[in-house]
Amino acid sequence: MSNQNSKKNSPWSWIPSLYFAEGIPYIIVMFVASDMYKTLGVPNATLAFWTSLLYLPWTLKPLWSPFVDIYSTKRNWIFWMQFLLGLAFIGISIGLQLPWWFPITLMFLWTMALISATHDIAADGFYMLALNEHDQAFFTGIRSTFYRLAMIAGLGLLVIITGLILDNTGLETVKLNIKAKPQSEITEVIKTETIQTTQNEKIKIIVSPTNINIPLYNKKDMNPCDSTNVYFTLSGQPEKDETINISFGHKKGNKDIFLARGDLIIFNEDNWNIPQMATIKVKHNLDHTALAQFDAKAGNIPFSWSVSMGFLGLTFIFFGFYHRFFLPRPESSPDYKQNQHKSSYSEVFISFFNKKGMVVSIAFLLLYRFSESQLTKMASPFLLDSREAGGLALSLTEKGFAYGTIGLGALLVGGISGGLLAAKQGLKKWIWWMALAINIPNTVYIFMSYVQPDSRIIINCCIAIEQLGYGFGFTGYMLYMLYIAGQGEHKTAHFAICTSFMALGMMIPGMISGVVQEALGYQHFFIYVIICTIPSFIALSLIKIDPTFGIKKQE
């Protein structure tokens, strides 16, 4: 019966869905949570620290990986963890609507991280039990691609959906055309006492003045000026305890026209009719008439994220029941009752660290993603941040579209080609090319931070280059962990230990990335990220890999 089930269920029927399901909670906890907190007004340093600290369950999961390896079956663990992940997503959805939303959602993210780390142990162990060495190498590209596809779905499709909900909820977006021209041509001066507010049933954003002109700086003028003030009010009173956050910033046009203050304006039931000021300035080198567009947005951010998280909750409950029926029952999977006393808890860890060359291997696991881990943590804030703060001022929808279209295609090409080449010619032949691919394309962020391109085509192409390199390079990292774990017994627990070092190598650099970025600014931060590739190449030069690993062996 088990043999028939194993043969009947092709790896294609469960590997893509299993690793897509494995990737989603990790992506939400590590990356999408940063987007969520960024749009909810949490500072970069705060969100980077707390979301990076959530790596801890993945770092510590070897402590309970022997328990997963010994008790029950991997199939049972996969089902129950996916079901509980669905409930955790629903908990975040509800928590976003409560007053103490930040600690509540962090608590559910911590719960999700613990469950997801346990699910990873079971899924990765099942992968090694159900496939032989060659099939493991062949499907590594597929596996890592669908894992990365989960990241695209989270950072792309989910963010697009959230952005669309955001754009169609809350208050209508106000687009302001700003014109810089000589001071002698500006006659209208707005003061707060001249602004009139009238209450209407439908709340809207009111901007004064309606025609916004800013004087070009000319030191020859009697009273040279380089700025103008814009005032915001609401046309109606918010409900009790309701807060309306208006984000205001440069969208497109001349970059010498910039926002000096007032990027976030907060209204409530007490101050809705009190004018709140934003200041727009021009750089002194601008000497001709110029135009720029600024947007004032106030969508219902908590509701938008609640809908998306609730949808993921239902999706994971479906995943649990799907895999309950479609996962095979591999012949190599030991009966858990017979396995309970096979090895002691300590023997699992001792046998891992006694493997030849383990010190160098651990250094490689910790440093291979040292650069990429910091870039990934700050890439989303960079794309979403205002141009005044050094970002690209993309909306959630635009950012999601960039990752979910061209970036997705590039990822698929990179991941699948990496797996195919490694299966054909072995990991050793391609590992250096994979290391170059995951690190060097990150230079596109240096370009984007200095140029701050308006063109969505240019931005999408830069993201595609980075995704292509990541897809190809990450395949080598996954294969090396399989190579280490596959030497000897306890493959499931040993692979979990490998991934814990991977998580530690992501957690520590990620925790400091926000502080470093705020200290250096985006431009210098991305240069620093490229310098951080050096340790990964040093570690790579020291490891040893069997030249035949991954190549199909003759029967």
Question: Residue 547: inside a domain, yes or no?
Answer: no
**Residue 113 in tokens:** 């991280």
Is residue 11 within 8 Å of 139, Cβ to Cβ? Answer: yes
Q: What is the pLDDT of residue 4?
A: 42
Question: Residue 545: inside a domain, yes or no?
Answer: no
- Are 63 and 35 within one domain? yes
pLDDT band, residue 339 (cuts 50/70/90): very low
Give the three-class secondary structure for 163: helix
pLDDT per residue over 63-102, tens digit each?
777 777 777 788 889 999 999 999 999 999 999 988 788 8
Q: How far apart are CA 363 and CA 117, in angstroms?
A: 22
Mean pLDDT in residue range 204-219 = 84
**Phi/psi zone of residue 262: left (φ > 0), alpha (ψ -120 to 50 degrees), beta?**
left
Q: What is the pLDDT of residue 200?
A: 61
Strand partners for 231: 208, 277
Q: Which of 278, 225, 287 is nearest to 254 (CA)?
A: 287
Average pLDDT taken over every residue of the chain: 82
Q: What is the pLDDT of residue 196?
A: 56
Q: What is the pLDDT of residue 336?
A: 41
In the sheet with 205-208, reading across from the earlier edge strand, the strands are 205-208, 227-234, 276-282, 257-261
- Are 340 and 453 within one domain? yes
Mean pLDDT in residue range 307-331 = 88
Residue appearing with tokens 């290391």: 435
Strand partners for 171: 298
Return the minimum-mean-pLDDT range out of 143-152, 413-422, 435-444, 536-545. Answer: 143-152
Give the up-direction half-sphere exposure of residue 227: CA atoms within 13 A in the CB hemisphere: 11
- Are 122 and 180 within one domain? no
- DSSP line for 210-234: SSEEEEPP-TTSSS---EEEEEEEE
Whether 1 shows a pLDDT value over 50: the answer reads no
Return the minimum-mean-pLDDT range out of 188-197, 280-289, 333-342. Answer: 333-342
- Are 68 and 149 within one domain? yes
pLDDT per residue over 98-146, tens digit each?
878 888 999 999 999 999 989 988 888 788 777 766 676 677 767 777 8
How many other β-carbons are positioned within 10 Å of the β-carbon of residue 330? 19
Is residue 180 within 8 Å of 190, Cβ to Cβ? Answer: no
Question: Residue 555: inside a domain, yes or no?
Answer: no
Q: What is the pLDDT of residue 80?
A: 93
Q: Of 277, 298, 319, which residue constitutes the final position of a domain? A: 298
Q: What is the pLDDT of residue 485?
A: 82
pLDDT per residue over 170-194, tens digit each?
788 888 888 888 877 776 655 555 5
**Total tally of structural domains belonging to the chain:** 2
Q: What is the pLDDT of residue 338?
A: 43
Mean pLDDT in residue range 483-494 = 78
- In this predicted model, which residue has the larger pLDDT, 332 or 308? 308
Question: Residue 416: inside a domain, yes or no?
Answer: yes
Mean pLDDT in residue range 429-457 = 91
Q: How far apart are CA 468 and CA 115, in angstroms?
A: 30
Give the three-class secondary structure for 297: strand
Whether 555 shows a pLDDT value over 80: the answer reads no
- Measured over the CA atoms of residue 409, residue 412, residue 415 and residue 418, the dihedral's sign is negative
Is residue 146 within 8 Å of 15, Cβ to Cβ? Answer: yes
Q: How far apart are CA 431 and CA 429, in angstroms?
A: 6
Is residue 44 within 8 Å of 518, Cβ to Cβ? Answer: yes
Q: What is the pLDDT of residue 7?
A: 47
pLDDT band, residue 218 (cuts 50/70/90): confident
Q: How far apart are CA 429 and CA 35, in angstroms?
A: 38
- Are 388 and 501 within one domain? yes
CATH code at position 451: 1.20.1250.20
Q: How far apart are CA 287 and CA 35, in angstroms?
A: 38
Q: What is the pLDDT of residue 520?
A: 92
Alpha helices in 300-405 (DSSP H): 301-326, 336-339, 345-353, 358-367, 370-384, 396-404
Q: How far apart are CA 138 and CA 123, in angstroms?
A: 17
**Residue 166 in tokens:** 């955001």
- Are 272 and 354 within one domain? no
Question: Residue 551: inside a domain, yes or no?
Answer: no
- Are 373 and 498 within one domain? yes
pLDDT band, residue 307 (cuts 50/70/90): very high
- Pairing state of beta strands 290-298 and 244-253? antiparallel
Q: How far apart are CA 146 and CA 131, in angstroms?
A: 17
Q: Which residues contact 302 (CB under 8 A, 6 or more apart)?
A: 40, 96, 97, 101
- Are 180 and 262 within one domain? yes
- Are 240 and 371 within one domain? no
Question: Residue 247: inside a domain, yes or no?
Answer: yes
Whether 465 shows a pLDDT value over 70: the answer reads yes
Q: Of 255, 272, 298, which residue constitutes the final position of a domain? A: 298
Whether 271 shows a pLDDT value over 80: the answer reads yes
- DSSP line for 238-256: PPTT--EEEEEEEEEE-TT
Share of the chain above pLDDT 70, in %: 90
Q: What is the pLDDT of residue 6?
A: 43
Mean pLDDT in residue range 19-48 = 83
Question: Residue 552: inside a domain, yes or no?
Answer: no
Q: Of 248, 270, 298, which residue constitutes the final position of a domain? A: 298
Q: How far apart are CA 507 and CA 542, in angstroms?
A: 23
Q: How far apart are CA 547 and CA 534, in angstroms?
A: 24
Q: How far apart are CA 118 and CA 492, in angstroms?
A: 11
Q: What is the pLDDT of residue 132?
A: 66
Give the three-class secondary structure for 175: strand
Q: Which of 175, 247, 168, 174 is nearest to 204 (CA)?
A: 174
- Are 127 and 189 within one domain? no
Whether 148 shows a pLDDT value over 80: the answer reads no
Whole-number Cα distances in Å, 315 to 17, 156, 362: 12, 17, 36
Q: How far apart are CA 531 and CA 524, in angstroms?
A: 11
Q: What is the pLDDT of residue 211?
A: 79
Q: How far apart are CA 389 and CA 540, in angstroms?
A: 36
Q: How far apart are CA 12 and CA 34, in angstroms?
A: 32
pLDDT band, residue 212 (cuts 50/70/90): confident
**Phi/psi zone of residue 552: left (φ > 0), alpha (ψ -120 to 50 degrees), beta?**
beta
- In this predicted model, which residue has the larger pLDDT, 526 or 508? 526
Q: How far apart are CA 88 and CA 112, in angstroms?
A: 6
Question: Residue 39: inside a domain, yes or no?
Answer: yes
- In this predicted model, which residue has the larger pLDDT, 170 or 425? 425
Whether 199 shows a pLDDT value over 70: the answer reads no
- Are 89 and 194 within one domain? no
pTM here? Answer: 0.63
Q: What is the pLDDT of residue 340?
A: 44
Structural domain that includes position 134: 2-167+302-540
pLDDT band, residue 331 (cuts 50/70/90): low
- Are 457 and 351 within one domain? yes
